[in-house]
Amino acid sequence: MQSNEPKNRWDEMFLRLNISKRLRPTLYGGIIGDAIGVPVEFMRRDTFFVNDMTGYGTYNQPPGTWSDDTSLTLCLIKNILENGTTKELMDKFVAYGESGYCTPYGKMFDIGNTTVESIMKYRRGVSPHECGGTSEMDNGNGAIMRISPLVFLLYTEPDFIKRVGVIKAYTEITHAHPRAIVGSIICIELLLGLYHDHSLQKSLQDIYQAFQENYRENHPYIREIVHFERIFSDDFFNIERSEILSGGYVVHTLEAAIWSFGNSSTFRDAIIKSVNLGADTDTVASITGSLAGMYFKMDEIPEGWLNQIAVKEEVDIIINAFDQCCSDIAVKNA
């Protein structure tokens, strides 16, 4: 009787490779976008042009330096590796602000107002799931910039509502308004669609359909998804650059990132296009980089940019550990 061991071993190798070839470019792509955007953050569109990894500028940081987008993403990855709760994740956010935890050079230089307010609530003893801002003014992009690792926990979960539950839990600790949560759902579901090799257009159509099929018309998420309706329109990628805003509002950030990615033929083009939109350059380019990384894979990421990531050896250790963790989970559940 022939043994199944070689087949199983090959299946395991294929599964691990399949995860790795998506996880690594998604995470590195986000970090690269963040780092290229940092020197020109808050600069007005068409007052500058960036086409490479530069430094100094807005925060006077060396080339390759990444911001809170990457720091808080690394906090999430470490928390997942430690099987941490959202309370322990908030502890990491506190450490980021107070002692430079998960920063390139041991000191925080950037953080969003809504995230700061949620951390302050947490330090006063408020439960993590009650810390997030709930007003319409709390719909910044501070959650969507840090949640991409969730894709690699959710890619085998077939139940949309269960996926939403996880996305909501990790969003509401800082951004609890339904619009911000919908933004996070769109971001993760889009990455999931690309993970499963769906086209950008199909992925967007599937997201819209999932909302319509799972929520009634009076549900808060249905009421909020109308703010994102341009993303789902047939002519979204034909919209003129001048009509794409790129500030910190969650709707504008998602529009800018998806538009930049959808109008580019390479990873490099997507990053350059997104950064040169101006305004919240690091976050727009970070999300663009995650989307483009997932789609174009590692071979398309310029090696020169990859090698310039600040403290890359430390980043590599964290990403390698996360890759191993997600692969182990996938093999165990296969």
User: How far apart are the C-alpha atoms of 69 and 161, rounded to whole Å?
Assistant: 26
Burial state string for 307-321 with b = 16 or more CB within 10 A and e = fewer than 16: ebbbebeebeebbee
67 annotated as belonging to a binding site for a ligand: yes
User: How far apart are the C-alpha atoms of 188 and 165, rounded to whole Å?
Assistant: 12
CA 314 to chain centre: 20
Angstrom CA distances, 246 to 44, 81, 96, 276, stand at: 10, 33, 26, 10
Which phi and psi (to 5°) does residue 219 adopt? -70, 140
69 annotated as belonging to a binding site for a ligand: yes
283 annotated as belonging to a binding site for a ligand: yes
Q: What tokens does 156 get?
A: 């085998």
User: Reduced to 3 states, what is the DSSP secondary structure of residue 156?
Assistant: coil
User: 160-171 and 86-99 are packed helices; what angle lies between their axes, rounded to 10 degrees?
Assistant: 30
52 annotated as belonging to a binding site for a ligand: no
Please name which of 229, 237, 233 lies closest in space to residue 263, comparing C-alpha atoms.
237
User: How far apart are the C-alpha atoms of 157 and 208, rounded to whole Å?
Assistant: 18
Annotated binding site: 67-69, 280, 282-283
Annotated binding site for Mg(2+): 67-69, 280, 282-283
